[in-house]
Amino acid sequence: MKKFKVYIVFSIIFIFIINMLMTGCAPEEEIKIKKINNFYKTNYKCEIDDKITIETTISGDNIQFSDISLHLSDKTAFDVDYNIVEGYVYYTFTVVFIAKKSGKYNFYISNLDNSISSNTVNIEVLENPNQEDNSPSQNEPNQPSNPEPDSSEKTETKPTPNTPSETSIIVYTTPTGKKYHYNKSCAGKNAIQSTKEKAVNIGLTPCKKCC
Ligand SMILES: [Zn+2]
């Protein structure tokens, strides 16, 4: 009987130790994005220079804009800016498109490894009929495809150097880091290019090593 009691006690201690080892050594899984809700409206039409603001919600923890990939069918078709703001229940993701060229495009958003994604939104950009500029018309058949550059008229007009504002300063962030870096290598291999304005907006602070 005494032997049996000792056996029970040792068994309990053994199970306790195994349990501690398993929970203690398991890497803490950080699921940042749990769900990306679908965009409510999926078809947009606009003209060149029009601005479209499209919004959806994302649930998860500690999500930053660098955790989101925006998959746009033609990256040259829009000026794109996006932002994520933490709310009470979920994050609000807002993306602003400014149309630059006509055509049919689509986009969706996902997490970084593309395992969680939204539905696809289509944007059709129509040629602005009122746009009367002096650029050569596309419909003119006799237009030489490669006009000779008029070297005599060439005047080197250098653009006035504007002082870099907060919006244009390139910084590097990481999916999990709380700092932003001027130096890409300092940010590490997960470095994501961003702007200082965005980094500051989401509460990142400058890296003490490189900023
Ligand atoms: Zn740094």
| pLDDT tens-digit series, residues 135-165 | 454 554 554 555 555 544 444 554 544 555 6
pLDDT beneath 50, residues of the chain = 26-27, 134-135, 137, 140, 143, 151-155, 158, 160-161
The CA 184 to ligand 1 mean position distance, Å, reads: 8
User: Which domains are assigned to the chain?
Assistant: 33-126 (2.60.40.10), 170-206 (no CATH)
The CA 64 to ligand 1 mean position distance, Å, reads: 18
Residue 32 half-sphere exposure toward CB, CA atoms < 13 A:
17
The CA 73 to ligand 1 mean position distance, Å, reads: 33
Q: Is 47 within 8 Å of 126 (Cβ atoms)?
A: yes
The CA 77 to ligand 1 mean position distance, Å, reads: 33
| pLDDT tens-digit series, residues 184-202 | 999 988 899 999 999 999 9
The CA 145 to ligand 1 mean position distance, Å, reads: 48
171 Ramachandran zone, left/alpha/beta (phi>0; psi -120 to 50): beta
The CA 176 to ligand 1 mean position distance, Å, reads: 14
The CA 185 to ligand 1 mean position distance, Å, reads: 8
